[in-house]
Amino acid sequence: MAEVTLPAGVQVFERGWLSSNNVLFIGQDSCALVDSGYCTHSGQTLELVDAALEQRPLDLLLNTHLHSDHCGGNAALQHFYPRIRTHIPPGQAPLVSVWDADALTYVPTGQLCPRFKYDALLVPGTEIRLADRPWQILAAPGHDPHSIILFEAQSRTLISADALWQNGFGVVFPEIEGEHAFDEVAATLDLIQKLEPRWVIPGHGPVFQYSAEVLSRSRERLSAFVQDPARHAHHAAKVLLKFKLLEQQQLPYSDFVDWAKSLRYFQLIRERFFLTTPMEDWIALLTGELVRSKVANRSDALIFNA
């Protein structure tokens, strides 16, 4: 692959899978950050941003969408930079105003997100100036119905959030809730194809050079999910379990099972797709797959992240 050449003033902090990547923009008159990671990593996020800014303030905070791994550090950044202005996609702004943690999905996913405020909206079809360049704000529903992506046309750089990774895309959460969103994933992939980016800054994983093969892998993955929605649901359940392991690192297996049993998204997935399997047996099956995939370890009494 050719050497990555992002626009001047753009830095990417590639994070682990518990936190989304952070994209820092340092311009002549203002500095901005896209996505703030998970709340348990907020100390590290602050250290990365503060060191890169070299005494300059952070003026803007943007969220591509409001999943906990993308906005969990918002509250800490707002406290550290009291004059910061926070911009979010419009769809869930009323829920942020009243702080409905259930409707914002933090309760049903069993994830944490300290309350934060917002100041302005990232309206699809408009532009925002970041590091002295205009970036297009584009709607990218699918993984999240309210997600946006950002595109800089001169350098053909795309901030794709969880709409496109090098080997796929994020869990299509509306499908878990019984809504039909696979078509929206396809439409977002079509949009990215039309943009023809050169560089893609994904929500997770390294910056990569866009190619037809990258998009083809995502389309193949989507086609498999469309043909077998239970396959997607099974994948989503394992992602939720893995996220808990990333957050906790280790915990008693009995607590892990109790947590999963109490999770509304887990209950929804099982009721829609795996009702014939008892809940504890289903969790054990999923856990066994994580262990065999070497992303978890288990002793008699404990389960560990790997």
| Among 226, 256, 281, residue at a domain's last position | 226
Residue 74 has pLDDT above 80, yes or no: yes
Cβ-count burial of 244 within 10 angstroms (0-12 exposed, 13-18 middle, 19+ buried)?
Answer: buried
Which stretches of the chain are DSSP H helices?
Answer: 42-53, 68-71, 74-80, 93-98, 106-109, 173-176, 182-195, 212-227, 229-248, 253-262, 264-273, 279-292
In a domain, 93, yes or no: yes
**Contact status, residue 148 vs residue 114, Cβ threshold 8 Å:** no
Q: For residue 3, what pLDDT is reported?
A: 86
In a domain, 4, yes or no: no
pLDDT tens, position by position, 205-257: 999 999 999 999 999 999 999 999 999 999 999 999 999 999 999 999 999 99
Distance (Å, whole) CA 82 – CA 60:
11
Same domain, residue pair 152 and 285: no
Same domain, residue pair 26 and 160: yes
Compute the average pLDDT of residues 179-206. 97
Residue 100 has pLDDT above 90, yes or no: yes
Q: For residue 1, what pLDDT is reported?
A: 60
Cβ-count burial of 212 within 10 angstroms (0-12 exposed, 13-18 middle, 19+ buried)?
Answer: exposed
Same domain, residue pair 199 and 278: no
Other C-beta atoms closer than 10 Å to the C-beta of 202 total 25
pLDDT tens, position by position, 117-127: 999 999 999 99
- Pick from 213, 207, 214, 211: nearest CA to 4: 207
Which amino acid makes up residue 2? Answer: A
Same domain, residue pair 217 and 257: no
Residue 101 has pLDDT above 80, yes or no: yes
Compute the average pLDDT of residues 10-28. 97
Other C-beta atoms closer than 10 Å to the C-beta of 113 total 24
Same domain, residue pair 121 and 175: yes
Compute the average pLDDT of residues 64-85. 98
How confident is the prediction for the chain on average, in pLDDT? Answer: 97
Handedness of CA 75, 79, 80, 83 (dihedral sign): positive
Q: 160 is written with which tokens?
A: 């794709």
- Pick from 56, 33, 37: nearest CA to 45: 37
Total domains present in the chain: 2
Residue 281 has pLDDT above 70, yes or no: yes
| Among 166, 193, 226, residue at a domain's last position | 226
Residue range of the domain that includes 273: 229-305
Q: For residue 16, what pLDDT is reported?
A: 87
Same domain, residue pair 99 and 72: yes
Same domain, residue pair 235 and 246: yes
Confidence of residue 181 (pLDDT cuts 50, 70, 90): very high
| Among 226, 242, 271, residue at a domain's last position | 226
